[in-house]
Structure 1
């Protein structure tokens, strides 16, 4: 079996290369390449491990014909075109927890430096001065810290601040009241936070919604004497407004580890402003953090390429390496059911419902849903996979619904896929035999047990004597060998379904001849 190939294109702790090799990957470490140079070699790799230097653009992704996963050692993925990666079926992962403590500690360090004016006091002392009376700091004990963003890093900052005996309030649209109580903080709206906080720290990604979240209007509403720290992303604060309010004294101090443009120009207006502190994006810059993110990204890439585990992915449901083997047969069944209903449904698809019953209801539903869509969308594109299938479905306006039934019916586990088309609903269902073998058990309301594999012929006919002999003779005369033969019917003498597996593709003239047989309503060649 050929080992997956991984390229490490940015400087990274050497343990990343070691872990990838130990887990069954071939690894090349080639750093400092220009975009054109990277474009020339990327096509031979299954995985790409990066930090912030490599830009994974549309052009790079188009040239990466074998690429399956991009792993970012760190949190920010501004340097990856995630929508295009998704359309190409490439998983994009980051390591959101590897540098969380480091970044949170840097925010606390800057908060304390602002409170006691440490950088300016240090500079003057080293200049030979002794400005003991020139600097009057403030205590943080008893002050209110306002967190904008209470996710992983924000929650760590909260715990450190509570240890300093601060009161912590937080604005985060995804923070529940229960989680706030668990953290020991108060959930507030953004307007309430800016008017109450003595210190404000930011811990949110840069999106269209968060860009300039501290704009001039909100900065002017802050409590006089507020101190602001940003170790998250540049662009969250209106830097020009921040400069004006520092000059006026309304804002007592600000500390930025990140800027809207990095590196900032030498004549940046904030440089030299009293009570302003800055560092060159050092939030993740500790030896421990660099080792952690390198180890994590290597483990995540190897898990995906070797065992199918998906961790910290930004464009596909997570699937642990432990879950992957258990889910594999269900995903195989799901993909075949999606493929079957896609090949048989007529008219424009408008909605798809994916129902899980019995043992299937206890599993992670997102990978199963993605597998159904992958099978379905392969009827529209041969390059589809579980990563890009949901995006292709969304592009086509397909409404996807997932339903979970805890009850167990006739089968210990059951998947049912129903599509709504312009000509009505079409539904198929399947189960696993022996917890491994996928088996169709119902097609359009007719009970039928069949394997779904290779080349098959699907026939809808009137249930009448002699039909099986006629179709067998037709295929025999055409030199087509029948592998398996599966029958189902609504009632005696009513509509019947026949599923045949055959050893080779069925020529169109044989299909045309089958359509002319007495009692035949529909004939369709299938492939799995």
Structure 2
């Protein structure tokens, strides 16, 4: 029997035809996504294995509960805020998106918004059409020879930088993952955030919204910007503190802003509305005929591939491996992600190179999947949207050199994974294995042998091997209400370098970490999080 797919949002007829041409039964009901009750009823009775959506359809827990036959949900576009991914994962439903189909369109919109705010085009248009002729009122600025600061130089940011160079702008970029080699290839100057703020005449943002990027342009950072700067945000609402920016515009420090995204959407009200030389559009970054067609065709191909052949592309909640491989590789993929996540949380500076060593049984598995899992874990602390499929592309865009070594069994374990990450300042290494109970373990950090169970919340410390470390850790955490589930120590030699890795019941608060640092006994105190 042919698999059956429901299209509940507006996809092009060409995309719908792809399903038919490939032998997939398809029901095209583009208005259904706006009626949740009707959608639930349709999914409950329809026997659908696939669901193709855009932004109107909300795939919530109750929608997933109704769709008992559902195997895959695919979003035509990058954002999946309208899909409950944890609930989908729990029910065994794959969630896919099309992460790179909108890149050119979004970058072009940012450039268009930059032109608009540079020449006050919307205000000048409204004035002229109102019968006024206020030629002297709308004095603009040229883009030529101005400095564009790009915050986030990944796929979209690099396209925006390339277009800006064509306009003869000087481009500087801040991106923790941007290597010097990649910056040279793009023809941009790699700088730290404070330098970008101080030098840029225009600032455009192209980063995802994460805990680290939320409010990246807050009141404090806006005060560091060059007087007369103009700010463009076509990435995500929440990257800029809208109230603080409004005040900076009113004071005259910021000359203008162009926003396509807002902290609350639909944006019915914003501190930016009504201010002079502020250009606003209703999240149009991906709204071109070409982009919408591209992502629609991609989503039809991806769903068809999975339902007909089992191939998984651009999945957000599972690796690109076969069902047979997944049974064996599951714990090893989780281990690879944990190893990457450890280094990703510990490393602030741009990563230049990563080497993955697969030993013993690990070397006989799907090497690409394990590599992708390491890269995904490595970069997720900076970008939560990264998954095993997109991680290698993002790493390549940022100029991270990746290599893999496979070898026969060399030690006491049946197999292990070791990663070594290099930056301009340091080299970090960590290794782990999977025990017979299927649980991943850390077995080496910084060349120091350990045996550490991995928990959701962990505390990592480094110190010299001196008396009192265990007592200080236990006493401080106990007095401050932090319960220890597991405690692992290691050292390279007596009196040498030592580490401690504690598995605790909850995230270690900043005041606890400060209390440990203030003892003077620790070189580093870091709280780590792992997706268990």
Provide the TM-score with structure 2 as the length reference. Answer: 0.63
CA contact (8 A) 2:358 2:405 kept: no
Asked if 1:420 is matched to 2:426, the reply is no
Q: 1:336: how far off? A: 6.2
Moved more, 31-40 or 188-197: 31-40
3-state SS in 2 of match to 1:146: strand
Q: 1:106: how far off? A: 0.8
Corresponding position of 1:400 = none
Asked if 1:335 is matched to 2:327, the reply is yes
Equivalent positions of 1:63-462 (< 5 A) are 63-265=66-268, 267-318=269-320, 332=324, 335=327, 355=359, 360=364, 363-366=367-370, 406=406, 419-420=434-435
3-state SS in 2 of match to 1:20: helix
The CA distance in 2 between the partners of 1:367 and 1:254, in whole Å, is 41
The CA distance in 1 between the partners of 2:288 and 2:158, in whole Å, is 20
CA contact (8 A) 2:151 2:207 kept: yes
Q: 1:42: how far off? A: 2.3
The CA distance in 1 between the partners of 2:288 and 2:373, in whole Å, is 40
Q: 1:27: how far off? A: 0.8
Distance 1:333 1:105, change over 3 A: closer
CA contact (8 A) 2:228 2:254 kept: yes
Corresponding position of 1:14 = 13
Q: 1:272: how far off? A: 1.6
Distance 1:415 1:217, change over 3 A: closer
Q: 1:257: how far off? A: 0.9
The CA distance in 2 between the partners of 1:184 and 1:70, in whole Å, is 39
3-state SS in 2 of match to 1:145: strand
CA contact (8 A) 1:361 1:404 kept: no
The CA distance in 2 between the partners of 1:206 and 1:199, in whole Å, is 20
The CA distance in 1 between the partners of 2:270 and 2:330, in whole Å, is 56
3-state SS in 2 of match to 1:194: helix
CA contact (8 A) 2:242 2:270 kept: no
Corresponding position of 1:480 = none
* Residue-by-residue CA offset, 1:179-232 (whole Å, 9 max, x unaligned): 212211122222222222111111122223222221121112211100011111
CA contact (8 A) 1:50 1:73 kept: yes
3-state SS in 2 of match to 1:70: strand
* Residue-by-residue CA offset, 1:227-277 (whole Å, 9 max, x unaligned): 011111112111111111111111101011111122222x53322210111
The CA distance in 1 between the partners of 2:404 and 2:113, in whole Å, is 48
Q: 1:422: how far off? A: 7.9
Match 1:57 to one of 55, 60, 64: 60
After superposition, the CA RMSD in angstroms is: 3.4
CA contact (8 A) 2:128 2:134 kept: yes
The CA distance in 2 between the partners of 1:88 and 1:273, in whole Å, is 47
Distance 1:208 1:83, change over 3 A: farther
CA contact (8 A) 1:357 1:407 kept: no
Q: 1:15: how far off? A: 1.5
Distance 1:270 1:407, change over 3 A: closer
Provide the TM-score with structure 1 as the length reference. Answer: 0.63
* Residue-by-residue CA offset, 1:472-518 (whole Å, 9 max, x unaligned): xxxxxxxxxxxxxxxxxxxxxxxxxxxxxxxxxxxxxxxxxxxxxxx
Distance 1:222 1:404, change over 3 A: closer
Q: 1:82: how far off? A: 1.6
Can you give the 5+ residue segments of structure 2 that lack an aligned partner in the other structure? 332-356, 375-386, 388-402, 418-432, 441-532
